[in-house]
Amino acid sequence: MELNRMPESITVTIESLGARGDGIAKHDGKPVYVPGALPGEVVQVQVVETRKSGLYTRMLDVKEPSRQRVQAKCQHFGRCGGCQMQHMTDELYRKWVQDRARFALAQQGLDEAQVEDPFMAPPESRRRVALKALQTASGLVFGFNAEGSHQIVDVVQCPVMHSSIWALVPELKRLLGNILPQRALAQVHATLTATGIDLVVDVAHEISLQEREACVQFANDFNISAFHWRSDGFLDPIVVRQEPIMEFAGVKVPLSPGAFIQATSESEAVMIERVQSACSSAGRVADLFSGIGTFTFPLARQHQILAVEGALDAVQALENARNSAPAAGVKLKQVVVKHRDLFRRPLSVKELAGFDAVVIDPPRAGAQMQMEQLAQSGVKTVVSVSCNPNTFARDARILVEGGYELNTVLPVDQFLWSTHLELVGVFTRP
């Protein structure tokens, strides 16, 4: 809650980096949050907001820069909301990533947990992006939201986006620039699949026949696998040249428009490897919040699997992929697929009996109720995959209080230079 505003300028020395990447200093015993500042730096800041939790500021000047400060990789850094952490050495960034995991765990009393050296996704590897497009009097603005604002930064460079998607950006800008009416705001989802790029344009504008033809031409020219136009909730398949497919351990899974996949193929491989090695001695494995089978199919080469997922299109994709695997020469053990809302109806202790391992990969909110059931179960190994260090730590504590040991936590930085972080924790019953 905002208490008051004070346009006050103060000079502070930064002591640490917070979870949102802000430099943190102290002033009159209160924490001072300084976006863009690094530990050891002396900075002059303007206080923009005073809250109970501390002073929120804007940096005016770096009076004494840190030796860990570097030139950002991207010319849009500081304005574009995509990346917050490009102003430091790789060494400091890596340490901050690891500390974030440690800090979240410590908040739940899990200070002893072993946090490994993070896996960092390489630059230019992000294969799933959502861009914004706004038609203005001076042309189309196309890029990402500015930091903390709905303004769009018109990007001419992006060091995180996969180069195949990036190559499409100027062409897409031209296409949408010719189609969108004044002030139309669109969201463009681009996903790099095994059969090419899958495009979904979300905008309140019904396209004409001529515009539709331009989109088909675009898809042909740039080898787009599928191009959908979503207007007022209606998903219009403009052209499906080749069904978008993801491949997991040789199993081809159809990807419905805009469906979830891990952000980079490199981080996905690391997570699959960790999940497989943790489950190596299991017979039956439950894969909860399975999505389209990122972990299900690699595991199904060795283990009997129950995959549980709440999105119906993902469940259908799993079933189709499982059914067509034998014809494609891929041998799987038994794969049972269940459509179920795991927030309302988590797998009960009774249902968990008979599983040697459980892989659980919920959305950002975590899976408190499911963890409570697991904590009372006899399952030997739990692999918890999470895109939110805070809910990961909260849920980890439930398991630890239920008698599990948290063996190791691997930070997987698949949203490079951002404050998002994936964690993979392996828990065992002694």
Ligand X SMILES: C[S@@+](CC[C@H](N)C(=O)[O-])C[C@H]1O[C@@H](n2cnc3c(N)ncnc32)[C@H](O)[C@@H]1O
Contacts of 399 (CB under 8 A, 6+ apart): 371, 374, 375, 382, 384, 406, 427
Separation of alpha carbons 382 and 330, rounded Å: 27
Segment near ligand X (CB under 6 A); pick from 133-141, 145-153, 187-195, 358-366: 358-366
By the 8 A CB rule, do 262 and 280 touch?
A: no
**Which member of 103, 260, 297, 417 binds ligand X (CB under 6 A)?**
260
Taking the least distance from each CB to ligand X, the nearer of 60 and 311 is 311
Identify which of residues 35 and 362 has a Cβ nearer to ligand X in the complex: 362
Q: Draw the binding track, 296-315, toward ligand X (x: CB under 6 A; -: no contact).
A: -------------xxx--x-
Write the single-letter amino acid at 331: K
Contact 188, 201 (CB under 8 A): yes
185/311 with CB nearer ligand X? 311
CA-CA distance, 97 to 414, in Å (whole number)? Answer: 11
Q: In angstroms, what is the minimal distance from the CB of 361 to ligand X? A: 4
User: CB burial class (10 A; 0-12, 13-18, 19+) of residue 94?
Assistant: middle
CB 96 within 8 A of CB 388: no
Residue 257 lies near ligand X (rule: CB under 6 A):
no
What is the nearest approach in angstroms of ligand X to the Cβ of residue 149? Answer: 27
295 belongs to the binding site for ligand X (CB under 6 A): yes
Residue 71, CB half-sphere, CA atoms under 13 Å: how many? 3
Among residues 74, 83, 215, 387, which one is catalytic? Answer: 387
- Closer to ligand X by Cβ: residue 12 or 342: 342
**Closest approach of Cβ 294 to ligand X, in Å?**
3
H or E element, residue 423: strand 422-428
| Closer residue to ligand X, CB minimum distance, 222 or 343 | 343
10 vs 3: CA distance, rounded Å: 19
Respond yes or no: is residue 387 known to be catalytic: yes
Binds ligand X by CB under 6 A, chosen from 61, 64, 341, 401: 341
Q: Does 391 bind ligand X (CB under 6 A)?
A: no
Binding residue (CB under 6 A) for ligand X from 40, 123, 177, 363: 363
Residues that bind ligand X (CB under 6 A): 260-262, 289-291, 294-295, 309-311, 314, 341-343, 361-363, 387
Catalytic positions are 387
